Amino acid sequence: MARRPLVAGNWKMYKTAGEGAILVQNLEERVSGSWDQVEVAVCPPFTALKSVSTLIELDRLQISLGAQNVYWEEEGAFTGEVSPRMLAELRCDYVIVGHSERREFFGETNETVNKKVKAVFSEGMLPIVCVGESLATRDAEETDTFVREQVRGALEGIEADQATKLVVAYEPIWAIGTGRTPTPEGANDVCRSIRATVGAMFGPPAAMSLRILYGGSVKPENAKSFFGEPDIDGALVGGASLDADSFAEIVKAAV
């Protein structure tokens, strides 16, 4: 992989602030030799961001920090929402945007994803934009069209230099938390198509620089096979990121 790989853990709605700090300490012990070759990020729930951020700062850990969601307005009467500036103040590097669980359970659309992507960039953080097809879309052989449309919708109107720093996670919905995965070659085909779409929108530098992660039932046993593919630059890991041993094994597979 020419680009520096990124292995990011999406903790979803798991881990309290205290549990999160312990997990990061355990993770650090297991992966501390790998920083030069691979970037490691954790994406805790909002309530654990502060404790993890403080730990990263005080112990000078090389782990990057991400949030799992954001609202696009700067501030206002939006009960229950969190703004990009609030996340930037906690020293978040990344924000996951448009995860399929948010699209399915919380009504996110390509339009709201696009607003969030722009808001994340405006506060100096980087979005990890999630795209991916359902089983029905895959069975109808419409994956490529569907994913390209998601990418175009999410990135419409951003600057070309922002696109060079972007992270896209290709996560087939049918592979998330199921133990099923596409073949590494099949996942790479979609990632290549995502890269081509970004290239058509923003030019070759963006296509060459953006990192595309594969996500969906990545485990220590299968991680290396995905990381060996030319258009896959790392992984977004759900379940296996909740255990320091298994997440560290995945990180080491990217070295």
Q: C-beta of 208: minimal distance to ligand PEP in Å?
A: 25
**Is 171 known to be catalytic?**
yes
Q: C-beta of 211: minimal distance to ligand PEP in Å?
A: 15
Q: Per rule CB under 6 A, is residue 40 in the interface with ligand PEP?
A: no
How many Å apart are CA 68 and CA 151, to the nearest integer?
Answer: 18
Which residue in the set 207, 217, 250, 254 belongs to the binding site for ligand PEP (CB under 6 A)?
217
What is the number of the residue whose Cβ is closest to ligand PEP? Answer: 238
**Is 249 known to be catalytic?**
no
Q: Which residues of 42-60 are buried (b: 16+ CB within 10 A; e: fewer)?
A: bbbbeebbbbbbebbeeee
Nearer to ligand PEP by Cβ, of 84 and 238: the residue is: 238
Phi-psi category of residue 87: left, alpha or beta, with phi > 0 → left and psi -120 to 50 → alpha? alpha
Give the x/- contact pattern for ligand PEP in 101-140, rule: CB under 6 A.
----------------------------------------
How many Å apart are CA 216 and CA 237, to the nearest integer?
Answer: 7
How many Å apart are CA 36 and CA 240, to the nearest integer?
Answer: 22
Q: Enter the tokens of residue 19.
A: 């549990």
Nearer to ligand PEP by Cβ, of 207 and 236: the residue is: 236
Which residues have CB under 8 Å from 156's CB, separation 6+? 114
Restricted to residues 168-207, the positions that interact with ligand PEP (CB under 6 A) are 171, 176-177
Binding site for ligand PEP (CB under 6 A): 10, 171, 176-177, 215-218, 236-240
| Active site members | 99, 171
